[in-house]
Structure 1
């Protein structure tokens, strides 16, 4: 193109952009539409799967990052789901159901809301010896038919970083809701060593949910290692969310006890992956941790 013609063309283009006639910025992806498309693509898997409920679990591993995703249909109206989970104190009640969560307390200040969470072993522990993670709580999106909530910490427990729990949801017909839960984190060298030590000792027989083949007796062979680990924890967090939503109509004084009983029952439906301790031991530990949660540490 001739230099003068090129200059004239560029001047015209700039003028058009300045007047707003053209050159509009690309439209941002609609997260609700993306989630609905995912729902449609998973229709068959949601209908028929190993979980015997409308749920799909996916996991991924890279050299420094682990991620678990659960997509599920829940039998609660979108409004009830949004109201129940758009509250940092409620999230502490959700997180405390997980067997490894020892404490959670929501703190709100000028910088926003943070969840102080201690993550430890599956037995009672003093908070002074349990690693703590500070999760920033944020509502990334909220409309009458879609929401997204993110819990994020730059530094996580036990050599992890980029620690993230994300929940998004979209309304479905017939008073149902489609949920997407992501649980992910990065690991440094120290974290990798600690993880491998766990996996070759007390965690050597642990498995996840992804079927990778069949054993000699025809039973499914499940994925192990770090992907098995992230799948187990993703499922525990999902069951905690589902359990909390199911107990939302209970009287406040009885709600957490109902959650404890329901979460343990839900976990025990998958004993190969999720069984750790008996019901009485779990209930005794969590009742004590719930009382401790009422105090700021």
Structure 2
């Protein structure tokens, strides 16, 4: 089925949502420890070995998603790696829709220059621009938080945010909260509805909303399903980035690309979009391209 322009935009928009996240106020280490304890049995290893819980919400003019995860990496490694703006570009480039990311200095601090396009190869001049202000909010021995913010987006979207907060937990591991969100208006709402009525009609997220007659889980769909898919893609990108640090510097980009695709295919019902050969070839080119500044 051929998508309209608004439907194609909505598909990009829902992918772009992963680059945004709100915490209305600063989340302290105590807040995160309380949330970790509160999740309890909800935060357990899944069939693919990832310990996580995905949540989402839809308000009148905003979509929000959360991924709570236990990372098998020491807190010191997580905090030291994610406090570098350029490393966020190493992460953000991995999902299909991100075509370019480069960190530059801005008047008030670092800025990430992003280009968002279709999931397949997309000429850079036809992509959507997004400038994310990057800020370290907290960096102590037991608490780390980074935020990325953009006031405006394409086709009536606004207030893009992404927040990652983390604390150390037992066993030399890290508890992470990845929260993201964006606000939308009438035009973008219509575009999303068009997408969900066509290419996104059969796609699902991760929240289980019921069981079928055979006891199989039924997953949430619609815009919340889309937000959850994007959340998982970015969580898996963070995990792939951290895993790649064990490789020699010249091998890390390739290791991230391969690891991210392998991880997403473990959740093929929600995340499969293309075959490995197509994805790897595309991302190798985009990783090379992001070394130069493109305004």
Same fold (TM over 0.5): yes
Q: Which residue of 2 aligns with 1:263?
A: 260
Q: Distance in 2 between matches of 1:29 and 1:227?
A: 24
Q: Which residue of the partner structure matches residue 153 of structure 2? A: 156
After TM superposition, the runs of 4+ consecutive aligned structure 1 residues lying more than 3 A away are 48-52
Residues 55-104 of structure 1, C-alpha deviations (whole Å, 9 max, x = no match) = 01110001210011011111111110011111011000100001110000
Distance 2:91 2:154 in 1: 19
Q: 2:111 aligns with which of 109, 114, 117?
A: 114
**CA deviation string 1:149-207 (max 9, x = no partner):** 00110112443211111000001122111000001111111111111111111111111
Q: Aligned partners of 2:121, 2:207: CA distance in 1, in Å?
A: 30
Summarize the alignment of residues 227-242 of structure 1 with structure 2, pairs less than 5 Å apart: 227-242=224-239
The whole-number CA distance in structure 2 between the counterparts of 1:267 and 1:38 is 26
Instruction: Determine which structure has greater relative contact order: mean sequence separation of CA pairs < 8 Å that are 6+ residues apart, divided by chain length.
Output: 2
CA distance in 2, matches of 1:29, 1:221: 35
- State how many pairs are aligned: 270
Matching residue of 1:13: none
Determine if contact 2:27/2:165 at 8 Å carries over to the other structure.
Answer: no
Matching residue of 1:102: 99
Give the equivalent residue in structure 1 for 2:134.
Answer: 137
1:295 matched residue in structure 2: 292
Cα distance per residue 1:23-69 (max 9 Å; x no partner): xxxxx987000100101111211136566531011100012100110
Q: Are 2:69 and 1:72 aligned?
A: yes
User: Is 2:56–2:224's contact at 8 Å kept on the other side of the alignment?
Assistant: yes
CA deviation map 1:252-288 (0-9, x unaligned): 1110100000000100011110000000000011011
Unaligned runs of 5+ in 1: 1-27
| Counterpart for residue 18 of structure 2 | none
TM (norm. structure 2) is 0.88
Alpha-carbon RMSD across the aligned residues, in angstroms, is 1.5
